[in-house]
């Protein structure tokens, strides 16, 4: 049985036998919602590679402590995968972030594509970004990840092009592409960026900008997937041919 995971700010200096205190919203959810009990086994993680299994020693209203049994440090998985996700509409945004996190994506970049139905403006920028970050955090805990994904700030097309130009490899999912995704080579230590367009499709101008930055347009098959699920399908196809899934 996999153990529940709780995120802590740091595990620096923690060793077997240490007692770690968890407070705030993380503790409230564990104690008040999950009904965490003394003696229950859990895993603490800092989200940047270190995890510590242990046993709950005490619980309070918004606090609990864990006696650590061991500490594990996990190297960051390679190759690194970044997904540029055009803003989906409604609750499909959270679905996209959730499944991308569960499958192991390292960085998620929300992209304000010209044809995105959803638009982040004003106060909504910070609010929506916070929601994506919270969704990624909870999905990472559910997936028992030691390394949590980063949700980058909202990016425009020029910023995405700059990201594509700095990557070892970059692909744009496009239904009119002739190159199959299965033909894309991915070195074990590479950084790969996958661009997922909006419901209305990537515009000709955006595609031209991305191709000029070095990205390749690719197709996955005859079917046209929703923007909220295309990314996870593409990443799965890529990871299946890497040591991460071997």
pLDDT by residue (tens digit) across 199-244? 999 999 999 999 999 999 999 988 888 999 999 999 999 999 888 8
Q: How many other CB atoms sit within 10 Å of the CB of residue 7?
A: 15
Residues 96, 45 share a domain = no
Angle (CA) 75 29 3, round 5°: 45
| pLDDT band of 26, cuts 50, 70, 90 | very high
Residues 151, 55 share a domain = no
pLDDT average, residue stretch 47-64: 96
pLDDT in tens, 27-48: 999 999 989 999 999 999 999 9
Sign of CA dihedral 217, 223, 227, 229: negative
Residues 183, 90 share a domain = yes
* Residue 197 to residue 209: CA distance in whole angstroms: 14
Residues 103, 50 share a domain = no
Residues 95, 10 share a domain = no
Q: How many other CB atoms sit within 10 Å of the CB of residue 199?
A: 17
Instruction: Confirm if 66 and 89 have CB atoms less than 8 A apart.
Output: no
Residues 19, 91 share a domain = no
Residues 181, 93 share a domain = yes
Task: Report the candidate in 156, 149, 155, 163 with the shortest Cα–Cα distance to residue 213.
Answer: 163
Residues 210, 107 share a domain = yes
The gap between the terminal CA atoms of the chain, to the nearest Å, is: 22
Tokens at 18, concatenated: 């240490």
* Residue 63 domain boundaries: 5-73
Query: What percent of the chain stands above pLDDT 70?
Result: 100
Q: What is the mean pLDDT of the chain?
A: 94
- Tell me what pLDDT residue 177 has: 93
| pLDDT band of 84, cuts 50, 70, 90 | very high
The residue among 50, 73, 96 that closes a domain is: 73
**Is the pLDDT confidence value at 96 over 80?**
yes
CATH number of the domain within which 54 lies = 2.40.240.20
CATH number of the domain within which 165 lies = 3.40.1280.10
**Is the pLDDT confidence value at 4 over 80?**
yes
Cis peptide before 79 (omega within 30 of 0): yes
- Tell me what pLDDT residue 13 has: 95
Residues near 177 by beta carbon (within 8 Å), at least 6 away in sequence: 216, 217, 218, 219
Residues 85, 69 share a domain = no
Residues 87, 59 share a domain = no
**Is the pLDDT confidence value at 1 over 70?**
no
- Tell me what pLDDT residue 66 has: 98
pLDDT average, residue stretch 156-182: 95
Q: How many domains would you assign to the chain?
A: 2
Residues 84, 64 share a domain = no
The residue among 73, 93, 112 that closes a domain is: 73
pLDDT average, residue stretch 173-180: 93
Residues 97, 69 share a domain = no
The residue among 24, 54, 73 that closes a domain is: 73
Strand partners, 52: 44
**Is the pLDDT confidence value at 137 over 70?**
yes
């Amino acid at each position: 049985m996999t153990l529940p995971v709780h995120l802590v700010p740091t595990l620096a200096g923690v060793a077997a036998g240490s007692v770690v205190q968890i407070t705030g919203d993380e503790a409230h959810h564990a104690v008040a919602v999950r009904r965490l009990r003394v003696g229950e086994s859990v895993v603490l993680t800092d989200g940047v590679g270190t995890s510590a299994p242990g046993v709950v020693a005490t619980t309070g209203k918004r606090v609990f402590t864990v006696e650590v049994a061991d500490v594990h440090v996990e190297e960051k998985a390679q190759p690194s995968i970044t997904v540029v996700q055009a803003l989906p509409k409604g609750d499909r945004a959270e679905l996209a972030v959730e499944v991308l996190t569960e499958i192991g994506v390292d960085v998620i970049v929300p992209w304000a594509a010209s044809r995105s139905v959803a638009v982040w403006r004003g106060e909504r920028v910070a609010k929506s970004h916070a929601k994506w970050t919270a969704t990624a955090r909870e999905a990472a805990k559910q997936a028992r990840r030691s390394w949590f994904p980063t949700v980058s700030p909202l990016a425009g097309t020029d910023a995405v092009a700059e990201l594509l130009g700095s990557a070892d490899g970059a692909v744009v999912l496009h239904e009119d592409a002739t190159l199959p995704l299965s033909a894309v080579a991915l070195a074990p230590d590479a950084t790969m960026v996958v661009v997922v367009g909006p419901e209305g499709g990537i515009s000709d101008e955006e595609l031209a900008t991305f191709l000029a930055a070095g990205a390749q347009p690719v197709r996955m098959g005859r079917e046209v997937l929703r923007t909220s699920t295309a990314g996870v399908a593409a990443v799965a196809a890529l990871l299946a041919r890497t040591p991460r899934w071997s």
